Amino acid sequence: MTLPDAMIRFLFAVLLAGIPITAPAANDLSAAQIEGRALANELLRISPAENLEVNGLMRMRAASGNRAAVPIHLQVVAGADEWKSIYRATLTNAPCPIILTITHVSRGPNQYRLSPGGPGAEAKSVSPANTMVPFAGSDFWLADLGLEFLHWPEQCLLKKEMRRGRSCRVLESRNPHPNPGSYLRVLSWIDLETDGLIQAEAYDDRNQLFKEFYPNSVTKVNGHMELKEMEIRNVQRRSRTRIEFNFDPK
């Protein structure tokens, strides 16, 4: 599948064939839910065509105004039946980087492994239900980087509307079992022309706006459009994190 202006090639590059077994039967769904499920599956089928490695910075700003910049390295390992996205964050004075490995498996859920970066620390598996925790102290949760909300069984196409100057489909993803402090639902604005993510909003377990996500910039790499910058804002904590990738334009 070729997306000439795809804003989130390696963010929406997740493989999923079929519907989760916990999803309601098709004959119990409304037309909007059937369309929403189809859109989520369409997005989940987008996969990277080739390997990729890129360095960058994760810039964090706390509500107090304090700022921090953490070097980050992203490695994407393409594959037919599964592929991996590996994030390495190097904190100041830390002996080892914090490493998050997300394995996207065909016909199955994401698999997460996290190495906390301490001396002798071993990578441990993290279940999808426990991925709503910060990566390297940032506003990005493990679940955000794995786009875990697209795997939730409840998907609904709400409407079509303009957002940030683009005509979009609005997808609502609902978490059937939200824990306190986690996401209840996520709204995504999907570009009608490119299937790129224009904006997303996450709501907490009380259905209050929690985070806003923006893919802010793209660049051409080896003839493809790649995401150059993405930002997530925690509107409740008044903090934000921006990841800037250092692509060499070609």
Domains of the chain: 26-245 (2.50.20.10)
Q: Encoding tokens for residue 41?
A: 């599956």
pLDDT in tens, the chain (250 residues): 333 333 333 343 332 223 333 445 556 689 999 999 999 988 877 778 889 899 999 999 999 999 999 999 999 999 878 889 999 999 887 778 999 999 988 777 899 999 987 666 788 999 999 999 999 999 999 999 999 999 999 999 999 999 988 999 999 999 999 999 999 999 999 999 888 889 999 999 999 999 999 987 654 444 445 678 899 999 999 999 999 998 764 4
CB 174 within 8 A of CB 184: yes
List of long-range contacts for 184-189, beta carbons under 8 Å, 24+ apart = 186/149, 187/158, 188/149, 189/161, 189/163, 189/164
